[in-house]
Amino acid sequence: MIREGAGRLVRIEGDSLLVPGDPAQVAVRVGAFLQVRARDRLAAACDLHSRALGQPYSRLTLRDTRSRWGSCTSDGGLMFSWRLILAPPEVLDYVAAHEVAHLAEMNHSPAFWAVVARLCPGYGPKRAWLKRHGQALHGFRFAG
């Protein structure tokens, strides 16, 4: 539940998201809060999977993409849709593992999927959730 908050920062309290400031800016402030949380969660997941793989990534970028949830460049740059924060945490973790796996295999070969399975055992239901429900994450609007 989103409620009016005091102070300057958006924060979670119990089952509520407390949003201070101008009520006309609530959507924008919630969007900004979610983007910061997405960066924190994705960085933590990528750090974990990157260490497990023994392959560092060069940078992490967030965008609001509609065509893909993540990507990996040949120089080790990882890009993600910040809207992954709206998915269950295990789905965000799967996408992070998927992109980190590209640091070892820049393809979708059986070897790549073996790396994904090593980093994220039981990834199938998480992948299926994203295919089934992912498009709905784009239905949320965070502009004033």
Across the range 80-103, mean pLDDT stands at: 97
Q: Give the model confidence (pLDDT) of 12-59 as tens digits.
A: 889 888 899 888 888 889 888 999 999 999 999 999 999 999 999 999
Identify the pLDDT of residue 144: 53
Smallest CA-to-CA distance from 98 within 81, 84, 112 is with: 112
Neighbours of 5 (CB within 10 A): 17
The answer to whether the predicted template modeling score (pTM) of the entire model surpasses 0.75 is yes
Across the range 88-117, mean pLDDT stands at: 98
Into which CATH architecture does domain 38-137 fall?
2-Layer Sandwich (3.30)
Which residues are bridge partners to 12 per DSSP?
17
3-state SS track over 94-134: HHHHHHHHCCCCCCCCHHHHHHHHHHCCCCHHHHHHHHHHH
